[in-house]
Structure 1
Amino acid sequence: MANVVSVERVTLTLGTTKVLDDLSLGVLTGERIGMVGRNGGGKTSLLRVLARAVPVDSGRVTHPSGLTVGMLTQQDTLDPAATVREAVLGDRAEHEWAGDARIRDVVDGLLGGLDAGAVGGWESVVGPMSGGERRRLALARLLVDDPDLLLLDEPTNHLDVEGVAWLADHLTRRRTRPDSALVTITHDRWFLDAVATTTWEVQGGQVNAFDGGYAAYVLAKAERARIAAVTEERRNNLLRKELAWLRRGPPARTSKPRFRIDAANALIEEEPPARDDVELMRFATTRLGKDVIDLERASLTLGVASDTPREILRDVTWRLAPGDRIGIVGVNGAGKSTLLRAIAGELTLVGGRRKVGKTVRLAFLSQEVRELEQLAGRRVIEALEDVRQFTQLGGKEISASQLAQRLGFTGARQQTLVGSLSGGERRRLQLVRLLLDEPNVLLLDEPTNDLDIETLTSLEDVLDGWAGTLLVVSHDRYLLERMCDRQVALLGDGAIRDLPGGVEQYLALWSEQQASRASGGVAGSARGGSTGGSGGASGATSAAGSAAPGSGAASAAGPTSAQVREARKEVARIDRALARLATREETVHRQMAEHATDHQAVLELNRELREIVDERETLELAWLEAAEVAG
């Protein structure tokens, strides 16, 4: 094993914060390193140092001659005018990449097959695509290039459960060159466990290395904590003894040998500083009766007024019980977030009814953090006091200031303006404000976004003792299996399916559905049992390869020339509609910034923005269907 990167006594300061402090480490060939640590702790800065993409204040970073480096950042760097083919394959000839099994695996796993069906075709333009689609393209380009040193900053962001499983398999089985190395920042603990041979914990400008993935890291850290606790207890005993001796009265103290006083002072100085814990309190919950939220013979369709409505639910009965802890998984576009919004009452059912128990206090953590924009000019402590100035913790009443310290906003951070917080801190503040309202029904849409592992662990600990009903949409398998008692799936056929076998059963169902679509068959023959208490529709998933809207189903021999022409017209129409939506969305964002202090105006604009997002999702799905026929 040879060194791929050598970091020697590197120091890096950003602003007034020393991010890396006299750090020395190396990356060896064959290593797969997972990097964890608190948001703002220096993980991304270290990744950029390894890539030599940022100058260091002191020390040296060396690469061997001829080393190729590829880095996936969290910023979008793709050329918006490029096509999918140019963005992913560059100038490679078709026979060159199509004949390479590794590249075909990347295309299948991230882009939906050799015709790039998941992104609308090879010749589609990058510009109008969503952030998640562009990130898939950037990741695909890196994996196609296959550099010697692969640096990935949160590669699982915007990937669904099956995408995360594919990526882990690709990195551990397909990308096996002995002269290559991988370093990835991730908060996805299942992915970390599946991929990493070594875990780096970045903390206080230093890196602590642990052999193995997340499970091994937790075990090793617990053992280190146990040893430290034994040492600390021994030191505390000595400290108490020395302090008791020093406090035996002023006359006696003046006659004590000087070395004894120095020894006691040394012990005091060695006391570790208070931990900057990210700890969420256990919030009181109001009592839930037997009725929580029921969907009775519910049907839900997005884009009813459009030419291409999308069915999310069809005649589904689903009853949530007190204490239910349910994880929701499903393919992208199946309507997971839409289902949560329907349960929350933000969307109106097109059929059936939503029944809510009298004692329900519902809280909904959406993927949007724009609700904090109206608080951008306020301080963290004020944002908490807006919800509640005092609360109960451990049987005692504590102030919002004390609570802010317990939540990781220590020292001056609780006086920081909300608008200056990092993405992870804003997400944490959003979640805490939500929980401070003491809900007993909690809907979480991708709660892992922007949260570090320490915060996620604290959140799980809070919810372990939380006595309400919980629904979670997430691609984080570890969180779903840790936090929820059962999982259900949306596969895009209007039904909600129970998954007694958990995420593994969902992946098997999804694989079968993909295989059935590829062969033109009907998917869903091995579906899981129907949801408890559910009268949901049980029809089989429709065959793949839908024809363009209004053109009738394509024949087994393929679409006719007339169908292709109609599909191309549909693609052009939708492209124009998407461009208009993009302009509207920019206008709404600008208006939200201008009216940040007008709460009512922001609410109205946010409602309009959600309508735009829903319409765009419907149009994108229709675009994909038409593009499949247009070729």
Structure 2
Amino acid sequence: MILSVEKLSHSYGVRTLFKDVTFNIEMGDKIGIIGVNGTGKSTLLRDIARGEAGDGGRITANGSCVIEYLPQNPDHDPQATVLEQVFQGDSPQLELLRRYERAAALAAADPENSALQSRLLELQQQMDSAYAWQLESEAKAVLDQLGISDFNQPMAELSGGQRKRVALAGVLVRPSDLLILDEPTNHMDNETVAWLEQLLLKRKGALLMVTHDRYFFDRVVNRTLELDGGQCYLYTGNYSLFLQKREERRQSEAAAAQRLRNVYRRELAWISRGAEARRTKSRERIERFNELEQEVKKISASGELEMSSAGSRLGKTVVECEHLGLDYNGVTYIKDFSYILLRNDRVGIVGPNGSGKTTLMDILAGKLVPDRGSVQIGQTVRIGYFSQHSEFPDSEQRVLEYIRDVSDHIETNDGTRITAAQMLERFLFPSELQWVPVNKLSGGEKRRLYLLRVLMGAPNVLLLDEPTNDLDIPTLSVLEDYLDSFNGAVIAVSHDRYFLDRFAGKIFAFMGNGEIRQFIGDYSKYEAAAAESKAMLAGGAKTGTGKERIEAVKSQSKQIKMTYKEKLEFEQIETMIAGVEAELKMLTLEVNSAGSDFVKLGELTAQQQDAEQRLEQLVERWAYLTELAEASGVF
């Protein structure tokens, strides 16, 4: 055992994040922490990294245990160079490396100074004997892999994302027994995430981390720690096994909760008897009833995050892009991009950082005007734009006020009216939290609140720019379920492979030099096609040249043709859908007016279920024909 956590608790004011957290970390453990934002995941990591017991408990580390910690927003020395920042630490090797880097900089600035050159030579010999060159070489290789090539650049000149990557390089390179990482894959492209996966899998020390990337979680983690309702649950296994075991736990808890409610009902009947009987009641039983009542209230207060689909129906024209182009500082980010967005499109956008993905989203949202081409937005379109950076114009504004700025209520697809306060409850903002200033929320809670604000506008076209950044895994799972039932188009920029596989039916890949290539299928299919193209470029192919094979992959959608019968069906299917929807509306009105005529009610309900099934089949067929029409170039 290298570290133990016993009965660790942490609160902010009257709000308890977690209590009595107890677990051990052994050499070789790779523990992932999961939980809704605001449950204290980052706080738990920070407490363990600093050895602080919070409001109670004990953290005991092995005497020789060295801990390296990467917070979400790491500190840095603005005056330090990239390499100097990486070599922050207390070990003799790191101190030697820092002395050598300083001496090398001085000697380079004054090459005629013999004393400086002599000192540099002396340090070089010490580096040889201490094998410090190996550490420096490893640091440069890791930095290069993370996209940092200028090792002498001052930290003050780097962007926030670059500084985070330098900090990550530091904790990866510096020797440690326990590595603690808080959201290490944020703002990292898929290729780099895959590299980090392999690095952590090969690492011999222990790992404790928070991440929202479920593929990353699944492949790296061998133990899962869940924070739920202030309680800690530890599972052996990765994310997939965690889902199975958590469901078993919840089913067991639900059964226990039902038994508790049954006991409560009996005791409530007993304690509700008349005044004469009340005088004969034992004090002990009354006290037990009061305790039981509090337990039942806790059960009722707990809940799952819910999202309700709401939005207006789209017309025929959604968003049409014609020959878009945009340049900045001599760099072409978008070159001759055209696309017609369909009503139920699910498009994922991928590409390296800085390639222009957010630029395209800003153009579609109307926040940026392209240099060339045009964007036509349909009259019925209501765009909801969830940008990378949450926008809080008034940080002192109350949570409920922030949501009411958009709407007091929304109406779901089934006509249910839900108030802003009720939606906040569904998004795990209880009534006492709804009057808290926004600036008192955690970073993850702010992102969840911002997502709700976007959805409260009842959009029918959703633009999501890196929605998985800083959103917890439970919220992401529910967001994916929401997108399944969302009656409109969705375009999402994301580096989260699990999210893209879960929701996307098409992939737009930024290839560099402004080229945007379109693929039909989810991210895994795109990745396979891209790997095949890369292989063809590298070594040719058994049938045809590499160029021919790549062109075949690029034009795969053009090879599909619609038959005359399918074209005719495609022209008529929207009218058929509208007819069934009108039939369903009439049936709903008849059901509501049937009253206590149960025979008629049963007949109407059966007709209603049949109509719903026919509508579902028609919508699925419409989606297929739409894909086919686009792939075959019908429109």
TM-score bucket (shorter structure) = 0.7 to 0.9
Question: Corresponding residue for 2:401?
Answer: 382
2: CA distance, partners of 1:242 / 1:457? 39
Gaps of 5+ in 2: 88-93, 98-123, 540-545, 560-635
Equivalent residue pairs, number:
513
Give per-residue Cα distances to partners, 1:254-279, cap 9 Å, x unaligned: 77898887776665443151345463
Residue of 75, 78, 90 corresponding to 2:76: 78
Aligned to 1:321: 342
Q: Per the alignment, in what secondary structure is the counterpart of residue 409 of structure 1?
A: coil
Match among 293, 305, 308 for residue 319 of structure 2? 293
**Correspondence 1:277-288 to 2 at 5 A:** 277=303, 279-288=305-314
Residue in 1 aligned with 2:212? 187
Q: 2:152 matched to 1:123?
A: yes
How many angstroms does 1:8 deviate by?
2.7
- Segments of structure 1 that go 5 or more residues without pairing to the other structure are 535-631
The corresponding residue for 1:213 is 238
Q: CA deviation at 1:350?
A: 2.6
Residue identity opposite 1:351 in structure 2: R
Three-state SS of the structure 2 residue aligned to 1:127 is: helix
- CA distance 1:42–1:517, change in 2 (3 Å): farther
- Aligned residues of 2:229 and 2:302 also touching (Cα < 8 A): no
Which residue, 162, 169, 193 being the options, matches 1:133? Answer: 162
Q: How far apart are 1:412 and its partner, in Å?
A: 1.9
* d(CA) in 2 for partners of 1:512, 1:397: 50
Q: Is the 8 A contact 1:162 1:507 kept in 2?
A: no
Aligned to 1:410: 430
SS in 2 for 1:415: coil
Distance change >3 Å, CA 344–CA 451, structure 1 → 2: same
Corresponding residue to 2:462 among 418, 426, 442: 442
Identity among equivalent positions (%) equals 38
Whether contact under 8 Å (1:509, 1:524) holds in the other structure is no
Shift of 1:289: 2.2
The match for 2:225 among 185, 189, 200 is: 200
User: Which of 366, 381, 387 is the matching residue for 1:360?
Assistant: 381
Q: Shift in Å at residue 181 of structure 1?
A: 0.5
Aligned equivalent of 1:341: 362
Segment of structure 1 superposing worse, 421-430 or 213-222: 421-430
2:352 pairs, out of 331, 344, 350, with 331
Residue type of the alignment partner of 1:354: V
- Equivalences for residues 30-429 of structure 1 within 5 A: 30-54=28-52, 56-88=54-86, 91-92=96-97, 96=131, 104=138, 107-108=140-141, 110-112=143-145, 118-173=147-202, 175=203, 177=204, 180-241=205-266, 243=268, 267-273=292-298, 274-277=300-303, 279-296=305-322, 298-303=323-328, 306=329, 309-369=330-390, 371-373=391-393, 375-392=394-411, 395-429=415-449
State the 1:514 CA deviation.
Answer: 9.0
Q: Secondary structure of 1:229's partner? A: helix
1:344–1:52 distance in 2 versus 1, CA, 3 Å? closer
Answer yes or no: is the 8 Å Cα contact 1:111–1:136 preserved in 2: no
Residue 556 of structure 1 is matched in structure 2 by: none
1:471-620 matched pairs, under 5 angstroms: 471-500=491-520, 502-504=522-524, 507=527, 526=550, 528-530=553-555
Note the alpha carbon deviations across 1:383-426, whole angstroms, 9 max, x for none: 22221123335744343333322222213211112233322222
Counterparts in 2 of 1:72 and 1:512: CA distance versus 1, 3 Å: farther
Structure with higher helix content? 2
Q: Deviations over 1:34-67 (max 9, x none)?
A: 0112223222222123223435444332211221
In the alignment, the residues of structure 2 paired with residue 254 and residue 14 of structure 1 have an alpha-carbon distance, to the nearest angstrom, of: 43
In 1, Cα distance between the equivalents of 2:270 and 2:228? 37
Note if contact 2:504-2:521 (Cα within 8 Å) is conserved in structure 1.
no
Deviation at 1:238, TM superposition (A): 4.4
Give, in whole Å, the separation in 2 of the partners of 1:485 and 1:48: 39
Amino acid at match of 2:481: D
Task: Note if 1:430 corresponds to 2:456.
Answer: no
Structure 1 position 330, deviation (Å): 0.7
Deviation of 1:214 (Å)? 1.5
Matched, 1:454 2:474: yes
C-alpha spacing 1:11/1:248, structure 2 compared with 1 (3 Å): closer
Range with bigger deviation, 84-93 or 150-159: 84-93
Mapped to 2, the partners of 1:352 and 1:283 lie a distance apart of 33
Letter matched to residue 408 of structure 2? Q
Partner of 2:586: none
Query: For 1:345 and 1:474, how far apart are their aligned partners in 2?
Result: 20
Kindly provide the CA deviation profile for residues 523-548 of structure 1, in whole angstroms up to 9, marking residues without a partner as x.
Answer: 997474359689xxxxxxxxxxxxxx
Q: 1:459-484: CA deviations, max 9, x gaps?
A: 22222211110001111112222222
Q: Which secondary structure does the structure 2 equivalent of 1:271 belong to? A: helix
Aligned to 1:29: 27
TM-score, normalised by the number of residues in structure 1: 0.73
Structure 1 contact 488–531 (Cα < 8 Å) conserved = no
Q: d(CA) in 1 for partners of 2:343 and 2:392?
A: 30
Q: By how many angstroms is 1:430 displaced?
A: 1.7
Supply the AA of the counterpart residue of 2:473: I
Contact (CA 8 Å) 1:7, 1:23: kept in 2 or not? yes
Pairwise CA distance, 1:71: 0.5
- Deviation larger for 191-200 or 54-63: 54-63
Residue 610 of structure 2: aligned partner = none
Structure 1 residues 256 and 65, CA gap change in structure 2 (3 angstroms): closer
User: Shift of the alpha carbon at 1:310?
Assistant: 1.7
Which deviates further from its counterpart, 508-517 or 147-156?
508-517
TM-superposed deviation, 1:251? 6.7
Deviations 1:76-110 (A, max 9, x none): 3222222223233555479857757x964x75565
**CA RMSD in angstroms, aligned pairs only:** 3.4
Residues 8, 55 of structure 2: 8 Å contact kept? yes
In 1, distance between residues paired with 2:59 and 2:181?
Answer: 19
> Does structure 1 retain, via aligned residues, the 8 Å contact 2:505–2:521?
no
Name the SS for the 2:261 alignment partner: helix
Counterparts of 1:25 and 1:524 in 2: how far apart (Å)? 57
**CA displacement, residues 160-184 of structure 1 (integer Å, 9 cap, x when unaligned):** 11221111111013x1x2xx21000
Separation in 2, partners of 1:317, 1:35: 42
**Cα distance change on mapping 1:86 and 1:16 into 2, 3 Å:** same
